[in-house]
Amino acid sequence: MSLHDIAARGLHLLDPEDAHGLTIAGLEAGLGPRVKSAPDPILTTDLAGLALPSPIGLAAGFDKNAQAPDAMLAAGFGFVECGTVTPLLQAGNPRPRLFRLTADRAVINRMGFNNQGLEAFAGRLADRQALAPRKGVVGANIGANKESADRIGDYVIGLTRLWGLADYFTVNISSPNTPGLRALQTRDALEELLGRLAEARRPMPGAAPVFLKVAPDLEDGEVETILSVSAAHGLAGIIVSNTTIARPASLSSPQAGETGGLSGAPLMAPSTQVLARFHAANSFGLVLIGAGGVASGADAYAKIRAGAAAVQLYSALVYEGPGLAARIRKDLASLLKADGFSSVAAAVGAV
C-alpha cells in the first residue's frame, strides 16, 4: 500500500464530504500519485473511436467540477469522466448527504447534482486545452438543474457549451437524487431528449461520442426501449449503471437506511446482471460501459465478459485509495492473458 493509499484511509476520520473536498484540493495542488509505468499493451483498446491506454475509467461524481482530470489520469486511469455539471451553479441537497457504509464497502449519496455550474467547468477544460495538448481522454457528464423549467433544454445547453472541450459526453438521466429525472428513461421522454440532442449535434464541427447513463433499477422491456431509441438517435453507447435505490438485505451498516443512491460492492452483482441484459439485447452495435461495484481486476474482468468494452469506478476509491486504478489494470492484464485473450476487445461478452 502506498503513502497515498494510507492517507486516503486516514481521511475516514473526517466527514465523508469534507474528506472528498480535501482530496480534490490535494489533487489540484499536485499531491496525487503518479504512475510512471505504462499499462500493459494488452489493455490498449478502442471505445467508440477513442483510443484508450486501458479500459479502466473514473466514473462521474468524483470530479464534479473538472478540477483534477489530469491528476486522475496520472494516477493510472485510462479515461476520466467529470461532472455531473448543470447549466447553473447548484448547491444540491442539504448536508449530510454522503454516507460511508464501511462494513458493506459501499456508499450512499443524495448529493443532488451539486456543482459550480457550466461556465466554471468549461473554463477549466478550456484552460487545460490551452496549456498543453490533451494528455488523455476526458469526458463530460451533463445534467439538468433541479428547478429548470426545461430539463431537456439543460442537456442541450451543456452539450453545445462543452462541444470541442470534452472528448466524449454522458447524458445522465439516472440519478435518483433529482426528483423526476429518471422519468426521462421512458420511451416518449427519451425520444424527445435524444432527438433534441441529435439536432443540436448536427451542425457542430468535429465528432465526439455521446453515451447515455442509465439506472440499474429497470423494468422488463426498458432495456430494449433504451437501446433502440439510443441507436435511432445516433448515440455511441450506454453506461450501465448509475447508483441503485434498492437496499439489499445483506447490508449491515447503520447508515443503510439513508435515502439516496447506493453504490460500491453491493451494486457489483445487480449492475452486472443488468449489463448482461443490455449485451444480450444489443443488436444495434452500441458500445457498453460497465459501472457499479468495480473494486478489483476480477470485477473489471467480469464486467468485460458480461459485455462491457470498458469499465468505470468511483466508490471503491473510498476504501482502496488512489493506487487502485494501477492495481486493477495490472490484475486485469494477467487475467486476460491467463484465459488466452489477446486484447480487451476479444474478451467483451465472452461469458
What is the distance, to the nearest Å, from the Cα of residue 78 to the centroid of all Cα atoms in its chain? 12
Assigned C-alpha cell, 334: 494477467
Residues 247, 209: Cα–Cα separation, whole Å? 33
CA distances 124 to 31, 72, 273, 296, 304, Å, are 19, 15, 37, 31, 32
Which of 325, 333, 324 lies closest to 40, judged by CA? 333
Residues 4, 10: Cα–Cα separation, whole Å? 10
Residue 245 CB partners (closer than 8 Å, separation 6+): 176, 215, 217, 261, 262
pTM over 0.95: yes
- Give the residue carrying C-alpha cell 457528464: 141
Could you confirm whether 174 is annotated as catalytic? no
- Pairing type for strands 237-240 and 210-214 reads parallel
Assigned C-alpha cell, 76: 493510472
Q: What is the pLDDT along the chain (351 residues), one digit of tens a residue?
A: 566 776 677 789 999 999 999 999 999 999 999 999 999 999 999 999 999 999 999 999 999 999 999 999 999 999 999 999 999 999 999 999 999 999 999 999 999 999 999 999 999 999 999 986 668 999 999 999 999 999 999 999 999 999 999 999 999 999 999 999 999 999 999 999 999 999 999 999 999 999 999 999 999 899 999 999 999 999 999 999 999 999 999 999 999 999 999 999 999 999 999 999 999 999 999 999 999 999 999 999 999 999 999 999 999 999 999 899 999 999 999 999 999 999 999 999 998
Which of 141, 99, 95, 137 lies closest to 118, judged by CA? 141
Residues 156, 151: Cα–Cα separation, whole Å? 9
Residues 239, 308: Cα–Cα separation, whole Å? 9
Catalytic pick among 54, 148, 174, 175? 175
Assigned C-alpha cell, 128: 487545460
Q: Where are the beta strands (DSSP E) in 20-174?
A: 45-47, 50-52, 56-58, 79-85, 98-101, 106-109, 137-142, 168-172
Q: Where are the beta strands (DSSP E) in 144-266?
A: 168-172, 210-214, 237-240, 261-264
